[in-house]
Amino acid sequence: MPGPDLVYGFRVRIGTEGRPGGGPGGHSEPGSAPRFAVRGTHVPVHDGTAYPLWSGTAVTLGRPPVLVADGQVRLLLAGELYNRAELTGALGGSSAALGDAELLLAAWRRWGPGAFRLLNGRFAALLTDASTGATVAATDHAGSVPLWLRADVTGLSAATEAKTLAHEPGRPLGLSGTHTAPGAAGVCRVPAGTALLLHGVGGSDITARAVRTWTPPLSRALPGEREAVDLVGERLATAVRTRLRGGEAAPTVVLSGGIDSGGVAAHTAALAPGTRSVSMGTEVSDEFDAARSVAVHLGTAHSEIRLHSAELVRELPWAVAAAEITDPTVLEYLLPLVALYRRLDTGPLRILTGYGADIPLGGMHRRTASLWSLDDEIAGDMAGFDGLNEMSPVLAGIAGKWTIHPYWDRAVLDALVSLEPGLKRRRGTDKWVLRQALSGLLPAETVARPKLGIHEGSGTTSAWTGLLLAEGIRRDEVTAVKGAMARRLYDAVVIDTVPPEDVDFGETVRRSVDAVRRLRLQGRVVV
């Protein structure tokens, strides 16, 4: 059963001295390997033939090229590109036969840093060009593959998981707008849609210049209804098509039964015979009937996974280890996905989801009072998505799988965000333009079905709350305890790199409650 063939994580060192290891707890120990959350094949990354030196570890699915070279240029690409046709058309020659990493290297040769403004993909990239002395650390437009950096006087460490850098000595790069990893001094994240051009790596005067490669559009377009519907339908279809690779096993679609996942499932099933779909729920809540209706309509091989709500909440250590965040609200969104991925068939799978459509379409703000308010909420959400890791590949990589999110394709986002808000809420219907674009592909009841978030459909929010109430926590303490739990779990599985299965969940709850109550006794405000 062939699956994705790509690099989907790494931790490498570039500079005058290599650090090939990174042992338990993130410490650099010769001959040891960093502790990644993603599961795959660990491949050494090493090039000592020319300055700067490369050393480290990549995590792969299949057998992709890892460190590719052309003359004095070295490149490591985690992830994949989706606008290969446009790139190969512009580069010409035999570029169509190149792998994604080699194609990016050829683009660098032609366009330099501007190459990253041409890419539509899901990736983190690290490049050195000895001819110019430049080191480049870049993310895709959405920052969907996190890329963390730490610098010192002998070089630069870069990783797709902050936990692998948490205990290395180093200093922050001093760039405004970069996120830092809580509890890991000096570890900063490359912003979404950014290529950092670094000079002086391996010295005391490292400099960094941020080249923005994409920003969410703030201007709005005024197409007619038919033009807008056709545009959204065509962009979504293209995004799904370019994410399906020949020679792999049939893809899997996470199917809730709503318009977002249903749209991805419809396009996938039309392109890939044997497409599988899967839904997940608990005894608290599920959307099985709605998902089953879509699966029957599309002819997908459908399955259902049901967890007890207490079992779902106990997936929190894995969700925190994967997302590397402390925001309990976002963790509630991600928790059912992590639980589902960990229960899918073994073996590498390409998984498509409808996650993220609500952000550019304002689906979470269907009760806002005016179109202006809706548009302002969308602009705020698009300005604040970076660093939440909602689409990090580690969420599925923790189970050895690869996920993709067609609604966050660059061209799809450009189209959805820029539409005037009256096309997103029209005639009292939320996400109107998407519903119209999919009206001929899905059952009528699916197209008209009201929005329900994945955390609502699986009962995650109420399940977590219910677990805490059952432990004797007062209702007015629940929000604060959730926040304390998220931070305590983060410190354990990210900073101390404790394996999620070794976390004492009950002790985490008890210590979090104690911490919240101590703050109350001290008269400090708990939010």
In angstroms, the CA 95 to CA 107 distance is 10
- Cis bond upstream, residue 52 (ω within 30): yes
Answer whether residue 172 shows pLDDT above 80. no
Top pLDDT among 330 and 345 is at 330
Answer whether residue 225 shows pLDDT above 60. yes
Answer whether residue 170 shows pLDDT above 80. no
Mean pLDDT of the chain: 90
- Give residue 173's pLDDT: 66
In angstroms, the CA 233 to CA 221 distance is 17
pLDDT tens figures, 485-525: 999 999 999 999 999 999 999 999 999 998 888 887 766 65
Answer whether residue 23 shows pLDDT above 90. no
pLDDT tens figures, 410-459: 999 999 999 999 999 998 899 999 999 999 999 999 999 887 655 555 55
- Give residue 135's pLDDT: 94
Terminal-residue alpha carbon distance, the chain:
49
List, by residue number, the catalytic residues.
355, 390, 451
Residue 119 near residue 83, CB atoms below 8 Å: yes
The type of residue at 464 is W
Mean pLDDT of all residues in 61-81: 94
Closest CA to 122 of 77, 73, 66: 77
Mean pLDDT of all residues in 164-171: 79
pTM for the whole thing? 0.93
Answer whether residue 27 shows pLDDT above 70. no
- Give residue 50's pLDDT: 74
- Give residue 25's pLDDT: 35
The type of residue at 370 is S
Top pLDDT among 248 and 382 is at 382
* Rg (the chain; Cα; Å): 23
Share of the chain above pLDDT 70, in %: 91
Mean pLDDT of all residues in 114-139: 96
pLDDT tens figures, 290-309: 999 999 999 999 999 999 98
In angstroms, the CA 430 to CA 364 distance is 9
3-state class (DSSP) for residue 306: strand
Side-chain half-sphere exposure of 374, counting CA atoms within 13 A: 27
Answer whether residue 21 shows pLDDT above 50. no
3-state class (DSSP) for residue 50: coil
In angstroms, the CA 418 to CA 135 distance is 34
HEC string of 430-457 equals ECHHHHHHCCCCCCHHHHHCCCCCHHHH
Answer whether residue 203 shows pLDDT above 80. no
- pLDDT category at 175 given cuts 50, 70, 90 is low
Closest CA to 296 of 266, 260, 263: 266
3-state class (DSSP) for residue 116: helix
Tokens of 506: 């009950």
63, with CB counted inside 10 A (0-12, 13-18, 19+), is exposed
Answer whether residue 285 shows pLDDT above 70. yes
Mean pLDDT of all residues in 473-495: 93
- Give residue 177's pLDDT: 58
Residue 33 near residue 42, CB atoms below 8 Å: yes
Taking the CA atoms of residue 282, residue 283, residue 289 and residue 292 in that order, the dihedral angle to the nearest 10 degrees is: 40
